[in-house]
Amino acid sequence: MITIKSASDIEKMREAGKIAANALAILGQKLHAGMTTKEIDKIIHDEITKAGAKPSFLGYAGFPGSACVSVNDEVIHGIPNPNRKVREGDIVSVDVGAYYKGFHSDTCYTFAIGSISDPVRALLTDTEASLYKGIEQAVVGARLGDISHTIEEYCRSRGYGIVKQYCGHGIGRELHEEPEVPNHGKAGRGMRLLEGMTICIEPMINLVGDDVWVKPDGWTVMTKSGSVSAHFEHEILITKDEPVILTKL
Ligand code: MG
């Protein structure tokens, strides 16, 4: 079901969004080579709970962490691990959600650990840019396919692989609501965006190849090529004017 949010819903979603954004910002200040993915998860957990919210992902479908922490060729849904250290030259995507006053938030950022190679730096820059290109399309009267097509076009023209099995989504009282927001599609197709809809846009872009597989842990999604993958996500409120990003400080 598509849900349209009231002004008071949106106020709470803004607060939930800020809490998730703040947790990512604090992590960004503390993140360094040698830190384990479990330590990353703990920083996120502590910041969200300190703000009086609950980590949306903890226990979701049995997920064992507060954040999804995915390193290098892990695309999404990486499980925090006390034995996995991030190293200089790695990239790590940290996907975070906060549940506050009855509403969820959801945002992701891919961090570089120290200095990374030029192609990987470009992948991060381009994937984040594709997110903002997609966001520009998220206005009343546009169609879902306009967002999807814009992201696909931007990333394809740079030779990247696009993950198709996973996509963005509506969000609100539930972490995952309708509609699905794919990262590939045709312009002018799909449902029209309505004022008061809240959606997550989240390109998952591989340096090489579209294909992915899921590890035997049942969660971690990997690139088939073994190349690195980037993931950026914001939660957007659809308005008659500019798109409003709810997951920023
Ligand atoms: Mg999401």
Running DSSP on this structure, what letter comes out for residue 36?
B
Centre of ligand 1 to C-alpha 86, Å, is: 23
The CA 107 to ligand 1 mean position distance, Å, reads 7
Q: Does 2 fall in a domain?
A: no
Phi, psi of 137 (to 5 degrees): -80, -15
In the reported structure, the alpha carbon of residue 184 is separated from the centroid of ligand 1 by a whole-number distance in angstroms of 16
95 CA distance to ligand 1 centroid (A)? 8
Given a cut of 90, whether residue 1 has pLDDT beyond it is: no
Distance 124 CA to ligand 1 centre (A): 18
Q: How many CB atoms lie within 10 A of CB 72?
A: 22
* 17 pLDDT higher than 90: yes
In this predicted structure, the answer to whether residue 174 has a pLDDT above a threshold of 90 is yes
Q: How far is the CA of 97 from the centre of ligand 1 (A)?
A: 8
Q: Has this prediction a pTM greater than 0.85?
A: yes
Q: What is the largest CA-CA distance in the chain?
A: 48
Give 44 Cα–ligand 1 centroid separation in angstroms: 16
Task: Please give the residue range of the domain that contains residue 205.
Answer: 7-245
Q: How far, in Å, CA of 27 to CA of 47, rounded?
A: 9
Q: Are 247 and 17 in contact (CB under 8 A)?
A: yes
Average pLDDT, the chain: 98
Is residue 1 assigned to a domain? no
Q: How far is the CA of 207 from the centre of ligand 1 (A)?
A: 21
Instruction: Establish if 131 belongs to a structural domain.
Output: yes
Count structural domains, the chain: 1
Per-residue model confidence as pLDDT tens digits over 88-140: 999 999 999 999 999 999 999 999 999 999 999 999 999 999 999 999 999 99
Residue 63 has pLDDT above 90, yes or no: yes
Contact assessment for residue 28 and residue 109, using Cβ atoms and an 8 Å cutoff: yes
CATH number of the CATH domain containing 42: 3.90.230.10
pLDDT tens column, 234-245: 999 999 999 999
Average pLDDT over residues 220-235: 98
Please compute the mean of the pLDDT values over residues 220-234 and round it to a whole number.
98
Asked if the structure places residue 150 within a domain, the reply is yes
What pLDDT does residue 50 have?
98
Q: Which residues contact residue 42 at a Cβ distance below 8 angstroms, ignoring those fewer than 6 apart?
A: 66, 80
Q: Measuring CA to CA, how many Å separate 167 from each of 151, 163, 173, 199, 205?
A: 12, 8, 19, 11, 11
